[in-house]
Amino acid sequence: MSTGTSTFVIRWINFLTMILAIAVICFGVWMSTHHDACRRTLTLPVLGLGAIILIVSLIGFLGALKNVSWLLWIYLIMLCFILVGILVFTVLAFIITNNGSGHAVTGLRYKEYHLQDYSSWFLRRLNNTRNWRRLKSCLVKLEDCNNLPKRYKTLKAYKSAELSPIEAGCCRPPSECGYPAVNASYYDLSYHPVSSNKDCKIYKNSQSIKCYNCDSCKAGVAQYMKIEWRVVAIFNLILFVILAAVYFVGCCARRNAARNSSSKIRGR
């Protein structure tokens, strides 16, 4: 690849990623001012990601703009670490999310989830009291359970609904308990549960309690996280291919910059 082409491509790619980084940082600042504690927990990761992208892009942009070989070296080294990090995270994400799947229940269009089906990594984090207390407060604030009666106004509509993993695990008792549903937010708990599952005794009709302390709720969150992680892992694979191509162009730009520097020294 010619000197002009490689430096031009690197220059404009990093200019665009600098704009992206500034947008990410602004989004992180906005999140830090938000009153929702659930969103504020993501502030530092978002700001950190924006700062890393900005620094790497700035170094690459200046190196390509000024045709400085040592700046491009630093840019390539940092980009190499990012590529390795993305690859490691992606492999781990696929390994962690390899276990766990829903169980079909007769008469229901959605599946139920069992916590023991998921990887030990999920189990350690979801069974941690502090982590679950924070996650539970977020689930309550999202009001997914409170919105079910608004979406399904009749018992027939509720029974034929396709609930999400979190709705299926956190908003209702497990089907094995045998509690009859009165509507989308109320179960008749006067019946003696037919199962020894501890979730049957934990479930309450109160909007702030529901089944948020149940293993079935943790399993629903694990399934949700599994789906999200798989999406992120696939995105990372695409990002890895793109960054690998950028890395190749950066290598060409650094090599050409080094040749230009050597030519100027010999010309003197």
* Rounded Cα distance, 137 and 213, in Å: 11
Residue 231 CB neighbour total at 10 angstroms: 11
- Alpha-carbon torsion, ordered 147, 153, 154, 157, to 10 deg: -70
Check residue 264 and give its pLDDT: 52
The full length of the chain comes to: 268
* Rounded Cα distance, 136 and 174, in Å: 18
Check residue 244 and give its pLDDT: 85
The number of CA neighbours under 13 Å toward the Cβ of 111 is 12
The DSSP code sequence of 120-178 is: HHHHHHHS-HHHHHHHHHHHHHHTHHHHHHHH--SHHHHHT----HHHHHHSS--GGG-
Query: 129-142 and 215-267 helices cross at what angle (nearest 10)?
Result: 100
Check residue 257 and give its pLDDT: 67
* Rounded Cα distance, 40 and 28, in Å: 9
**Tokens matching residue 73:** 């070296």
**Tokens matching residue 37:** 């504690």
Burial 55-76 (b: 16+ CB within 10 A, else e): ebbbbbbebbeebbbebbbebb
Q: pLDDT 10s per residue in the chain (268 long)? A: 555 566 777 788 888 888 888 888 887 787 777 655 565 656 777 788 788 888 988 988 888 887 777 888 888 888 889 889 889 988 988 888 888 888 998 888 899 999 999 999 889 989 999 889 888 888 887 788 989 999 999 999 998 999 999 999 999 999 999 999 999 999 999 988 888 899 999 999 998 899 999 999 999 999 988 988 888 888 888 888 888 888 887 777 777 766 665 555 555 5
* Rounded Cα distance, 118 and 108, in Å: 22
Pick from 234, 223, 247: nearest CA to 170: 223
Task: State which amino acid sits at residue 50.
Answer: G
* Rounded Cα distance, 31 and 47, in Å: 10
Torsion angles phi and psi, residue 188, rounded to 5: -80, 100
Task: State which amino acid sits at residue 10.
Answer: I
pTM: 0.78
Check residue 263 and give its pLDDT: 54
Check residue 194 and give its pLDDT: 81
Is residue 199 within 8 A of residue 113, CB to CB? The reply is no
Element (H, E) at 92: helix 69-96
* Rounded Cα distance, 225 and 227, in Å: 5
